[in-house]
A and B are shown apart, each in its own frame.
Chain A
């Protein structure tokens, strides 16, 4: 199974533990990736402040065109912001020949063109639908032994089209967690937005969003929160101290990427492959306790 991998800017920096763990975990499942050479940023969710809509479409179309010129594999975008930007632009281009023409008029300025033949997918989509739960279960040699994990889906990773999961009541991440041997705790705030890209400039409003999400996860028994989005991971993990200061709470719950849990359950190296040392709130203790049962 070969795919283009479009990992985006965050996964080289604040979301590095996602990319570092994704590669070995997916390779263990016989997935093969090719980078889109010289890819550019997707514009994320805040570019509208400086750019009009067509510019953001063209920005994403450049990546689609670069991929299309190299092959016909699906593009896997693990970062939920990259995913939603790219899949949205791709759909809009594919459904509207007039828009495709406009976008190509702009791409031509830089010597590229896009026919509209590429498919954009989320990492959860390919894990669930292409690899499948059975194959994932086969690879598990260190099951997570009922570790209570809150599968925080966030918002963008299943939207806007709900191509592989419900946009309002998603289940795919929970099924994947269960395949690793964890217990996916139900919690209603699993699709509540964390503040995403405007967290930093609107911190006074967004701290409360994260407080509510963490409270909900913990009240439903979670020992650990998993996510598939670098903004979710950043906002949920790095601001716990500030939330504790503001609201008098005592949050200290590790936030890990789903792919980190996969690497652990597949028996891969805790540091080199699962990248657990990248986490600021250490998850090792909880994971070791679960594995040791």
Chain B
């Protein structure tokens, strides 16, 4: 345990200004309810409350490279239980977005999955459940893509045989052009959209 804690507000300031929901950590009293509530807590390197404390301590690299910020299953348990009503999940998502934007891919597959998901929303307006895993599998390289496809082929086949996999590719929504204009504007206007 460090006896003399020195707060370095520079990274906290960066988080308040550039990370979606970043300023919400000001309310954290480090009680640890979020840490105890998270389904993937045993797989995290730092629980959320510790991430928040590390932001105050100025530990920029440790926070942005933390596995924890990429492991949110979005169950909202932390948010509904936080005694100070901090939307812990929104902060974790904001931090993940900020880290990925700077090329930090601590959990490569999860980051790729999320990015491909969003790319598809932007491209089609909807999700093509066949195309998404294919793109994620092959994002890691051709050989990896083939290996992953073979690994999950049984599942895809079962879903198809039980009428739970559409055969045709998903078509663009009619208003795709106008949707893209809206999203382009939001990307520029939003806080987490600011370039690092």
Contact surface of A with B, Cβ cutoff 8 Å? 9-10, 12-17, 38-41, 43-55, 57-59, 62, 81, 84, 102, 105-107, 109-112, 154-156, 159-160, 162, 167-168, 191-193, 195-198, 200-202, 205-206, 209, 238, 277-280
The listed residue (B71, B80, B170) touching A205 by CB distance below 8 A is B71
Do residues A51 and B21 form an inter-chain contact, with CB atoms below 8 A?
Answer: no
Do residues B186 and A106 form an inter-chain contact, with CB atoms below 8 A?
Answer: yes
Encode B114-135 as 1/0 by CB contact (under 8 A) with A.
Answer: 1111111100011101000100
Chain A residue nearest to B116 (CB atoms) is A50
Do residues A40 and B125 form an inter-chain contact, with CB atoms below 8 A?
Answer: yes
Do residues B186 and A54 form an inter-chain contact, with CB atoms below 8 A?
Answer: yes
Do residues B113 and A58 form an inter-chain contact, with CB atoms below 8 A?
Answer: no
- The stretch that binds A, out of B1-9, B49-57, B58-66, B159-167, is B159-167
List residues of chain B with CB within 8 A of the CB of A192. 39
Given contacts A54-B193, A109-B185, contact A198 B113 (CB under 8 A): yes
Given contacts A9-B126, A40-B173, contact A197 B164 (CB under 8 A): no
Do residues B166 and A12 form an inter-chain contact, with CB atoms below 8 A?
Answer: yes
- Please name 30 pairs of A and B residues whose Cβ atoms are closer than 8 Å in the assembled complex, sorted by A: A39-B173, A45-B73, A46-B74, A46-B110, A46-B118, A48-B20, A48-B96, A48-B114, A50-B100, A52-B187, A53-B90, A53-B191, A54-B187, A55-B186, A57-B186, A58-B182, A58-B183, A58-B185, A58-B186, A59-B182, A62-B179, A106-B182, A110-B178, A110-B179, A154-B75, A159-B79, A168-B80, A193-B39, A200-B136, A205-B40
Do residues B117 and A46 form an inter-chain contact, with CB atoms below 8 A?
Answer: yes
Given contacts A40-B173, A55-B183, A162-B80, contact A48 B93 (CB under 8 A): yes
Alpha-carbon distance A280/B173, docked complex (angstroms)? 30
Alpha-carbon distance A280/B182, docked complex (angstroms)? 40
Do residues A38 and B173 form an inter-chain contact, with CB atoms below 8 A?
Answer: yes
The listed residue (B80, B178, B183, B193) touching A160 by CB distance below 8 A is B80
Closest Cβ of chain A: how far from B51's Cβ, in Å? 15
Q: At the interface, is chain B mostly helix, strand, loop or mixed?
A: helix
List residues of chain B with CB within 8 A of the CB of A201. 107, 109-110, 112-113, 136
The listed residue (B39, B40, B71, B186) touching A52 by CB distance below 8 A is B186
Chain B residue nearest to A111 (CB atoms) is B178
List residues of chain B with CB within 8 A of the CB of A17. 164
Alpha-carbon distance A209/B155, docked complex (angstroms)? 19
Tell yes or no: B77 within 8 A of A by CB: yes
Tell yes or no: B147 within 8 A of A by CB: no
Alpha-carbon distance A178/B60, docked complex (angstroms)? 52
Do residues A14 and B75 form an inter-chain contact, with CB atoms below 8 A?
Answer: no
Do residues B158 and A280 form an inter-chain contact, with CB atoms below 8 A?
Answer: yes
Tell yes or no: B45 within 8 A of A by CB: no
List residues of chain B with CB within 8 A of the CB of A14. 129, 159, 164-165
Alpha-carbon distance A73/B129, docked complex (angstroms)? 30
Closest Cβ of chain A: how far from B119's Cβ, in Å? 6
Closest Cβ of chain B: how far from A154's Cβ, in Å? 8
The listed residue (B185, B187, B191) touching A51 by CB distance below 8 A is B187
Name 10 extra pairs, CB < 8 A, besides A50-B97, A154-B75: A14-B159, A49-B117, A50-B115, A53-B192, A55-B186, A62-B179, A159-B76, A196-B73, A206-B73, A209-B39
Given contacts A46-B113, A51-B97, A238-B155, contact A156 B182 (CB under 8 A): no
Given contacts A12-B166, A14-B159, A14-B164, contact A50 B117 (CB under 8 A): yes
Alpha-carbon distance A16/B81, docked complex (angstroms)? 33
Tell yes or no: B143 within 8 A of A by CB: no
Closest Cβ of chain A: how far from B141's Cβ, in Å? 16
Alpha-carbon distance A167/B21, docked complex (angstroms)? 22
Closest Cβ of chain A: how far from B135's Cβ, in Å? 12
Do residues B159 and A52 form an inter-chain contact, with CB atoms below 8 A?
Answer: no
